[in-house]
Chains A and B, each alone.
Chain A
């Protein structure tokens, strides 16, 4: 099972480099931090909690193989009518695409078209997606939350001291790296208008920094640095900020999430709106990722504690 999970991580990294080749730099950014980072981490945690072995008894390849071959054959037959790869006159490039490409600089004033489509033209979609992420965070919390007793200060001290001896080099290196990771996350967050980046990527990178800290120094120490109730509040705040920007633009006489009315100058209004909703997205994504990791590792600590008692 360990091999399966590690291969899935490598696959994530390879597909990220594929996205760079395909000109999708923003997507590659996200895939590199999510596919190769967070998702592998969560899988490893789950494997650690559920056991590494797999028995072959439940393997039924023949019927599955037949079904897969037939479906695949039919799908390949379906591709014969598709437009050729890279052709300029394919249907995708003919409807709203040209407007996004040629008018977005005039209408939104943001060089990165992906950001202007994400945050402004299709802001409503993104709002829905942020809500989905928030809901998934709540779901994980509901499934895995454990009531934690009072943290024992001396126990934490003891863990701290033992860790000092155990992973000295790792701890020193990571401690110097974490500020830079967090700083980089902020750069990605606020530079999303001009280069690849934005709330989604920044949120994941920020969470990765915190998760790194929690992995090396233990969950209890990490929880003292950032309290979980605060993170939960922030994840809701992000969705709230996003929705309020939409409401404020409605109060100013525009339609929902129409940022042009936020300021006297429509372009400045768009800039302000995009900045605010990217902030909301970043907050929600970062806090949901942190919540997910905290829930998983708290659960595994809880399982180990229970095992110790039953033995």
Chain B
């Protein structure tokens, strides 16, 4: 019983991470993949923050008379990671927009099929030469 109470934060993180992972590998829709990637990423955030928590501690802002604080280091790492995360998400979304313009689709398989088609056509032209 103490084990369940002591480790449940990691299990929640793992469940979230696997939901994100499933979205990335099972869906062909590229925006859904990005959402899955975001969930995966936020599960790592939750992992770090929950590791930094100390039972009975307070937020790490210095105050007279308080001795027990949560660990500020994970907070710093995650704080910057969130902002970097949105910047990279924006980059991914920009790539999707360009893919849509070039291929007319945001589905992984369709884009792959079109690429294969192109390759086959090029091979044919080569043979005719």
Contacts and interface: CB of A to CB of B under 8 A. Distances in A.
Contact of A24 (B14, B70, B83): B70
Contacts of B89: 39, 42
Nearest to B82: A30
A76 B29 CA distance: 29
Contacts of A27: 45, 49, 75, 78-79, 82
B11 to A, nearest CB: 6
Interface string B1-41: 01101111111001101100110011111011011001100
Q: Which one of A24, A39, A43, A143 has the highest number of Cβ atoms from chain B below 10 Å of its Cβ? A: A24
Contacts, number: 258
Where chain B touches its partner, the secondary structure class is helix
B86 A39 contact: yes
Interface string A4-23: 11001001100100110011
B33 to A, nearest CB: 11
Contacts of B7: 79-80, 82, 84-85
Q: Which one of B7, B60, B93 has the highest number of Cβ atoms from chain A below 10 Å of its Cβ? A: B60
30 contacts: A1-B31, A1-B32, A4-B35, A8-B39, A11-B42, A23-B58, A34-B82, A38-B86, A50-B100, A51-B106, A58-B28, A68-B22, A79-B10, A85-B5, A85-B6, A88-B68, A92-B51, A97-B73, A101-B69, A112-B61, A113-B60, A113-B62, A114-B79, A129-B81, A129-B84, A132-B87, A139-B91, A200-B79, A200-B83, A292-B87
Given A8-B35, A27-B49, 13 more contacts: A8-B38, A23-B58, A35-B42, A38-B86, A39-B38, A39-B89, A54-B29, A60-B26, A67-B25, A93-B54, A112-B61, A117-B72, A132-B84
